A and B are shown apart, each in its own frame.
Chain A
């Protein structure tokens, strides 16, 4: 099987979705002629025309609002927000409408909208280009939040998101765009939303994360193994709806849980995971649930120390030692 990076895998998914369903539209800032600042939409405008793959004015609220209206009218828009940290001008559209329309119209107006956005740090992007706002999105009723950790998962999950009848935020870790490479199946396939995956079995502790943190957890697990400690690794993949069953089963099995996320620690999605574990697996716990997360500060644009903000394998291993010796 051929090996693709994340950019290529997502591009292929968009290509297949555009080919399969003429209601699918791809738009955003610079996604047309340029092919996106990360080249995720490269070649799509040439292949499908300016009517289906197009550049919008530089206005995120307008992009989200237009996507909502297009979906209302029966289309299946796939909007790109250039960086997840640029979603904020569109928050009124997102919080007040995107996830609310089905509820406020009692089922008449469903919005099959996909919003793709690159998120996270680790590649020395400029200030405000490395935010991880997934907790804000997950705290919005009526939307789904998907964050893939590898190219083959990204392709199938994006196609599932586009087929979904509800709004889906699809966050793509910038660090993985060209950093993650994997064998990706040819052709059209979907992977189910709302299912967490056990990537690695182990009895000592359970590492839980998603997106760009999955490779960090796997690296930590590999190091731990060399020291004779086998840990379980869970990739949540979909934050909303959350696969609580898989999560709790994985924690009950080891009795020790470490949640890894690169957003700011306080109020991050990892806090929700920790709360779910406290509610559903307290009796099994042999140590406090720990969070390895970004610090309670803005993502630092200072390149010499930037790497200290984003969790890495060393920090995960430090947490692991703590729960194992509790």
Chain B
């Protein structure tokens, strides 16, 4: 039996309070704005390699906004939208993608950790972080995210199994965007939906239209609530599409068609939500313009902040390797600080 794909948009349903819906829209639009700016900055040589998330805003923001302030986000590298929605300052994110050390220490108040570059290693770590809350008498829930390709990794399996065995309060978001860089889902797995695997782990699996912010948000809310009540983890699969390349170094025309991209562009999660808001009289061109002006102003301010970060010091290379520097780090630190090669001071 095919799992049901949860969907509200395009069916005329409006299952959220108006304020909540507007909050989702603003956060998604803000994320998209960042993504577009980031691509521009990258082309100008003012950002490093950047993995855009364009098209996946509903999946990422929907889950992030379903969390409370005390809950954690454990993201993979594509989750910039999730991080922004969880409260990571824009200038920190710019510095992060600039590979500037000042952007690699996320502020204490933000319950999110640095993105994971290896695939699926975040999954068992999210489980540990979730269990730590229980030991400490905190009721935090952890949302972690992975792509359809990542679900082939052993750590995905180990992490989900651990989560189920220990009833860990985790929401596993699988953003199924159809591709692992270039390899289509059909060559990645023999099942039609990743969420089918949930049963094999002994946890609920839910499939949502990942470009339907209402569906993602509401199902994520349920999963978060379940987790917080001690009822264990949920596998939440969001069917979506990456409208942009894998990273700024990728050329998607080598593995997918323009027609396919066009078809998904018409299902852009931001356009779909905006349409629903407009039909209800909650949004119009004027409000959109006002929001964009606000975002432009915020981004310039944040970019200026990022630009004002001091150049990293050479000795930062060997800082924070250990809580206290070992003799080998100390020697290198002294040399780097004096502008010398360590071989000269050996």
A59 touches which of B102, B108, B161 (Cβ 8 Å): B161
Instruction: List A268-300 residues whose CB lies under 8 Å from chain B.
Output: 279
Instruction: List B102-147 residues whose CB lies under 8 Å from chain A.
Output: 102, 104-106, 108, 113-114, 117-118, 121, 123-133, 135-136
Contacts A62-B161, A141-B321 given; does A242 touch B328 at CB 8 Å: yes
Judging by beta carbons under 8 Å apart, are B121 and A102 in contact?
no
Q: Does B255 reach chain A (CB closer than 8 Å)?
A: no
Judging by beta carbons under 8 Å apart, are A107 and B105 in contact?
yes
Complex alpha-carbon distance, A106 and B309, angstroms: 15
B131 touches which of A73, A97, A194 (Cβ 8 Å): A73
Judging by beta carbons under 8 Å apart, are B327 and A244 in contact?
yes
16 more contacts with CB within 8 A, not counting A106-B105, A165-B323, are A61-B154, A62-B159, A64-B124, A66-B162, A69-B124, A93-B125, A96-B117, A102-B321, A106-B102, A107-B319, A109-B114, A241-B322, A241-B326, A241-B328, A243-B327, A245-B327
Judging by beta carbons under 8 Å apart, are B320 and A102 in contact?
yes
Most chain B CB inside 10 Å of its own CB: which residue of A72, A74, A102: A72
26 A–B pairs (Cβ distance < 8 Å), ordered by A:
A56-B162, A62-B159, A65-B121, A65-B124, A65-B162, A66-B124, A68-B125, A69-B132, A70-B132, A71-B132, A73-B131, A73-B136, A93-B155, A96-B121, A102-B322, A103-B321, A105-B114, A106-B101, A106-B105, A142-B322, A165-B324, A166-B322, A194-B326, A194-B327, A244-B328, A279-B346
- Closest Cβ neighbor of A96 among chain B residues: B118
On chain B, the residues within 8 Å of A75 by CB distance are 132, 135-136
On chain B, the residues within 8 Å of A245 by CB distance are 327
On chain A, the residues within 8 Å of B154 by CB distance are 61, 89
Judging by beta carbons under 8 Å apart, are A62 and B322 in contact?
no
Chain B nearest CB from A71 CB (Å) reads 7
Judging by beta carbons under 8 Å apart, are B162 and A70 in contact?
no
Contact with B along A80-106 (1 / 0, CB 8 A): 000000000100110011010011111
Q: Which 8 A-B pairs have the closest CB atoms?
A: A69-B128, A73-B132, A65-B124, A241-B326, A62-B158, A106-B105, A165-B323, A66-B128
Q: Does A6 reach chain B (CB closer than 8 Å)?
A: no
Chain A nearest CB from B106 CB (Å) reads 6
A62 touches which of B155, B319, B320 (Cβ 8 Å): B155
Q: Does B183 reach chain A (CB closer than 8 Å)?
A: no
Complex alpha-carbon distance, A107 and B114, angstroms: 12
A69 touches which of B131, B158, B165 (Cβ 8 Å): B131
Q: Does A228 reach chain B (CB closer than 8 Å)?
A: no
Chain B nearest CB from A134 CB (Å) reads 16
- Closest Cβ neighbor of A99 among chain B residues: B321
Q: Does A28 reach chain B (CB closer than 8 Å)?
A: no
Judging by beta carbons under 8 Å apart, are B124 and A93 in contact?
yes
On chain A, the residues within 8 Å of B129 by CB distance are 69-70, 72-73
Contact with B along A152-175 (1 / 0, CB 8 A): 000000000000111000000000
Complex alpha-carbon distance, A93 and B135, angstroms: 23
On chain B, the residues within 8 Å of A71 by CB distance are 128, 132
Question: Residues of A with Cβ closer than 8 Å to B?
Answer: 23, 25, 51, 56-57, 59, 61-62, 64-75, 77, 89, 92-93, 96-97, 99, 102-110, 141-142, 144, 164-166, 194, 240-245, 279
Judging by beta carbons under 8 Å apart, are A70 and B131 in contact?
yes
Judging by beta carbons under 8 Å apart, are B136 and A74 in contact?
yes
Interface of B is mostly: helix
Chain B nearest CB from A244 CB (Å) reads 6
On chain A, the residues within 8 Å of B131 by CB distance are 66, 69-70, 73
Judging by beta carbons under 8 Å apart, are B162 and A102 in contact?
no
On chain B, the residues within 8 Å of A194 by CB distance are 326-327
Judging by beta carbons under 8 Å apart, are B104 and A73 in contact?
no
Residues of B in contact with A, size category: 35 or more
On chain A, the residues within 8 Å of B328 by CB distance are 241-242, 244
A66 touches which of B117, B127, B133 (Cβ 8 Å): B127
Complex alpha-carbon distance, A311 and B41, angstroms: 59
Complex alpha-carbon distance, A228 and B319, angstroms: 49
Judging by beta carbons under 8 Å apart, are A57 and B320 in contact?
no
Most chain B CB inside 10 Å of its own CB: which residue of A69, A75, A244: A69
- Closest Cβ neighbor of B160 among chain A residues: A62
Contacts A108-B106, A241-B327 given; does A66 touch B321 at CB 8 Å: no
On chain A, the residues within 8 Å of B124 by CB distance are 61-62, 64-66, 68-69, 93
- Closest Cβ neighbor of A62 among chain B residues: B158
On chain B, the residues within 8 Å of A240 by CB distance are 326
On chain A, the residues within 8 Å of B125 by CB distance are 65-66, 68-69, 72, 93, 97
On chain A, the residues within 8 Å of B121 by CB distance are 65, 92-93, 96-97
Complex alpha-carbon distance, A164 and B323, angstroms: 9
Complex alpha-carbon distance, A62 and B161, angstroms: 9
Complex alpha-carbon distance, A71 and B128, angstroms: 8
